[in-house]
Amino acid sequence: MDCQNGRRANRTVRFARTAESRYPERYSYEYDPEETLSRAAPSMRNAPTIPPPTASGADEMRYTASRPASPARPWSPTRAADWVRPPSAAASYYERADINGSPRPGTPSSRYGGSPRRPLPPAPLFSKPGTTTQDTKIDIGDGEEDPFGGGGRTISSRHGPQGSVQSFTSESTFIADETDLEKVDLDEYEEESNETKSMVDPNLHYGPAPEKQSRRGVRNAQMAKKEVQLVNGELILECKIPTILHSFLPRRDDREFTHMRYTAVTCDPDDFTQRGYKLRQQIGRTMRETELFICITMYNEDETHFTRTMHGVMQNISHFCSRSKSRTWGKDGWKKIVVCIISDGRKKVHPRTLNALAALGVYQEGIAKNVVNQKQVNAHVYEYTTQVSLDSDLKFKGAEKGIVPCQVIFCLKEHNQKKLNSHRWFFNAFGRALQPNICILLDVGTRPEPTALYHLWKAFDQDSNVAGAAGEIKASKGKNMLGLLNPLVASQNFEYKMSNILDKPLESVFGYITVLPGALSAYRFFALQNDAEGNGPLNQYFKGETLHGKDADVFTANMYLAEDRILCWELVAKREERWVLRFVKSAVGETDVPDSIPEFISQRRRWLNGAFFAAVYSIVNVKQLWKTDHSLARKILLQIESVYQLLQLIFTYFGLANFYLAFFFIAGSLTDEKIDPFGHNMGKYIFIVLRYACVLVMCLQFIFSMGNRPQGAKKLYLSSMIVYSIVMAYTAFCTLYLIVLELMAKTGHDVPITMSDTLFVNIVVSLLSTVGLYFFTSFMYLDPWHMFTSSAQYFALLPSYICTLQCYAFCNTHDVTWGTKGDNTINTDLGTARIINGSIVEVEMPSEQLDIDSGYDAALRNLRDRLEVPDPGVSESQQQEDYYRAVRTYMVSVWMVANVVLAMAVSEVYGVGSSGTNVYLAIILWSVAVLAIIRAIGSTAYAVLYLIQKLVEGKAKFQAGNIASANASAAGSSLGTKSNVSYGSKGLNMTDRINETKWAISRGMQKAMFWKK
């Protein structure tokens, strides 16, 4: 019996040691008999005293269990199944954190739920014991330990010394009831003894099922109330960054790297500086001058689009810092760059985008407030200098990948107020505070090339008259260019390429670019400022946001759908200034394009309406150019560009009629039996079918556009685009067939053709001036691949560009919104039912019978007297909508009648067989040729000027390098040293001459190949 008792005691000792090492947090409490419990003592306290174990076992055991059953009965295991093998020594160490792996939180297991098999590292660098949502005692007077910064008083606990609720692993947490002990361990033991089961409450309820599975090592943030000192009546917090992020940072020497600054802005963006708000670049050790201010606007884009843009910006900042020989940039160039991210609506932002910002250290959950000092918060501003970047694959990139620090301002707007309001925050609030030199605008989803932003900035640095610059926007073609299999993507790729080769260079030579794309553009901040009277580019730019009621006429409202076009015109036409706009082809940005018909049509509706009305605005106000300080030659060029835009506007307005007439005369030529390529007069029947199909689709297009959204009529729009493509393909076939027959007739073949030489010349000139110049300019810029991969899709969809898109745009001129928002205002004119307790509510109602009777008498009196009820009238918003729709109807009617009259008149005057003497067709073909030649001349001039500029820059740098080397050689000679390399035409050996020649050729080729910049 003694032997058995000894073995039992030894087993008890071994289990106590194992359990204590296994669960150290459970054995941190030593029972004090005199301690006052937080609740009544259980009945088990009166249990008879149990004799202690043998002396050998008692000497080694230490009853420090956190769950004592009674003062006289310490907890002990009841079965051998409770014994667990202790963890090995290797298991107590943490795996080294990997920034791209699964970083484990550097916090104690008591706070983040670490398991005994995966113990967590010691407490973080700046961490306190966990708190709960209860009001606990917090000393907020210590600014060093307070993660939110600021001084203040102490908020005492409501529960007293014993009532304080601590973390579930703190030393004050204990269970003083045997029944509670078993309840806690129900999930921990698979088998239970009869004695244990008898202690379990049969009515035990675990509560509702969890909403989601909790992740291991993650818990919900525990909040605590505290007092924070307001700064000038505004809430400004300095919050420490997460521990795991802090451990990865290469630099921790300044507060901008270790703390995130939050500011709750309660004013309008125009009053930001007047109300005394300041950014980090204006205070303390981080006071700096801002050379480059980058704006990234977003709405509800996901984390993939955001990280694509943000990582591209970080790569550009690294390029700025790598230019060690620059007078402006260099190692600390990042201090002159500030990135401002503006999100349009707190409830619209994508949650995973906020997670990406939090991963960078810019954003923290649970800090922002809706109301501060009885004032509504309009924007939440977070400021942090991050040292890591997330690429589109959500992989962290740090200093080892060349990433340098980046000053980030994240402005999270409380309400969705559209992109124009976001730009007002950027220019009027943050821009006035920082006073930058150059401002760059980016859209989320646009990925700038690593040197794009530098080339944009360089355009301003080289010419002080440049007020704005546009980069080249490329369409994203997807992985392995598989996106080109979609005709929509391929056609947009061709359109973007030819615009960057023909249109933008021509406008850059004139000095006025009609639109600087918001996806990638830059402005000189000084040029944007208004004059002393408040008139100027920014005033006109933001006028579209404040137009309401009678002031918001259809013309102005549609014009401000393309407010960036208005800003470009106001810059060039600014009184007594000589600002110009430039196209920077070496600044390349890649963006996603719509790949579905509804998205494509909706996007082009806003573009076409804005471009049309903005062009009308600039043409009508062309006289403003003579009040500027431009030279006479520049004013003449700008007048020529206005005439060019007028011709483009006329062709756009009569696009429907011109397309129909071109098909009517060219395809109608094959109705002659002598040249019918199909025989049996099939050419005539095909022409009749396609003619009526084309007219029918054009008529139905108006019904689709006025009555259906593209998202709800996808098949209808798809069918119309297919019909237009068939008509275009047949027209192209007829054109090529006629040209081949004419060439065969001129070479001596016996071909029965009746086409006149005039028609042949007209068609050939038109084709050469369009398709031929497309190939010529594309090869001149050494970028011809879109001609082989995307041109066929573009020409097939060209009628849809002319008919479908233009028709939908004009039929929806009344829709001047970027998006729709419902009426979510809560009316309280009827009173509210306020809950007092449970299902009991407090309401206001007649309390006396007299009140009820008086209401009844009033109703009878109103019926008898027949009181006239005032007409509520039509609301202002309804009047505005009716006005917009009426003007839309008039405008579409005039446009449709003008095109129909033109098509009917020309087709009646010139029949199908009169192509040779058709004057109108000749005018159309030659007009297309002239406009194409003008574009080609402008593109060629831009390429020549760009090449000359690069060669001059290369020569200047080469000479500067020779001078610097000569100075270094002279300095070496004065010190008695002999230089091994001498520059110049004399004193060079053969090896030096060869090396210098190779370097000069390589440098010249790099400067000459401007298309790769």
Q: In total, how many domains does the chain have?
A: 3
Would you state the pLDDT for residue 410? 95
Backbone dihedral region of 970: left (phi > 0), alpha (psi from -120 to 50 degrees) or beta?
A: alpha
What does pTM read for this prediction? Answer: 0.71
Structure tokens at 490: 């391929």
Among 770, 222, 288, 709, CA closest to 494: 770
Answer whether residue 458 is part of any domain: no
Instruction: Identify whether the C-beta of residue 360 lies closer than 8 Å to the C-beta of residue 390.
Output: yes
Would you state the pLDDT for residue 848? 65
| Alpha carbon 325 to its chain's center | 33
In this model, does residue 59 exceed pLDDT 50? no
Dihedral angle of Cα 500, 501, 502, 508, to the nearest 10 degrees: 60
Structure tokens at 899: 């095109």
d(CA 19, CA 185): 14
Parent domain of 1007: 944-968+985-1012
- Domain limit, last residue, from 60, 90, 120: 90
**Could you read off the pLDDT of 187-209 as tens digits, one per residue?**
333 444 444 444 445 555 555 55
- 94, with CB counted inside 10 A (0-12, 13-18, 19+), is middle
**Could you read off the pLDDT of 931-978 as tens digits, one per residue?**
989 999 999 999 998 888 888 877 777 776 666 555 655 555 544 444
Instruction: Please list, in sequence order, all residues whose beta carbon lies within 8 angstroms of the beta carbon of residue 49, skipping any fewer than 6 positions away.
Output: 72
In this model, does residue 137 exceed pLDDT 50? no
Compute the average pLDDT of residues 615-629: 89
Please name the residue ranges forming H helices in 206-333: 243-248, 255-258, 303-322
Answer whether residue 27 is part of any domain: yes
Q: What is the 3-state secondary structure (H, E, C) of 640-662?
A: HHHHHHHHHHHHHHCHHHHHHHH
Answer whether residue 177 is part of any domain: no
Q: Which residues pair with 855 in a beta bridge?
A: none
Among 375-389, 398-412, 494-508, 800-814, where is mean pLDDT lowest?
A: 800-814
Answer whether residue 400 is part of any domain: yes
**Could you read off the pLDDT of 974-1007 as tens digits, one per residue?**
444 443 433 333 444 566 656 666 666 666 565 5
Instruction: Identify whether the C-beta of residue 415 lies closer than 8 Å to the C-beta of residue 395.
Output: no
Among 383-387, 429-433, 599-603, where is mean pLDDT lowest?
A: 599-603
Answer whether residue 756 is part of any domain: no
Beta-strand pair 375-376/236-240: unpaired
**Could you read off the pLDDT of 212-233 as tens digits, one per residue?**
555 555 556 666 777 778 888 8
Q: Which residues pair with 443 in a beta bridge?
A: 297
**Could you read off the pLDDT of 606-617 as tens digits, one per residue?**
888 888 888 888
Q: Calculate the alpha carbon distances from 946 to 938, 939, 953 in Å.
A: 12, 10, 11
In this model, does residue 481 exceed pLDDT 70? yes
Answer whether residue 80 is part of any domain: yes
Compute the average pLDDT of residues 236-258: 88
- Domain limit, last residue, from 445, 470, 498: 445
**Could you read off the pLDDT of 636-658 as tens digits, one per residue?**
999 999 999 999 999 989 999 99
Would you state the pLDDT for residue 778? 92
Would you state the pLDDT for residue 371? 86
Answer whether residue 678 is part of any domain: no
- Domain limit, last residue, from 445, 474, 495: 445
- 659, with CB counted inside 10 A (0-12, 13-18, 19+), is buried
Answer whether residue 431 is part of any domain: yes
To the nearest whole percent, how much of the chain has pLDDT over 70?
65
Dihedral angle of Cα 731, 735, 736, 739, to the nearest 10 degrees: 170
pLDDT band at 247 (very low <50, low <70, confident <90, very high): confident
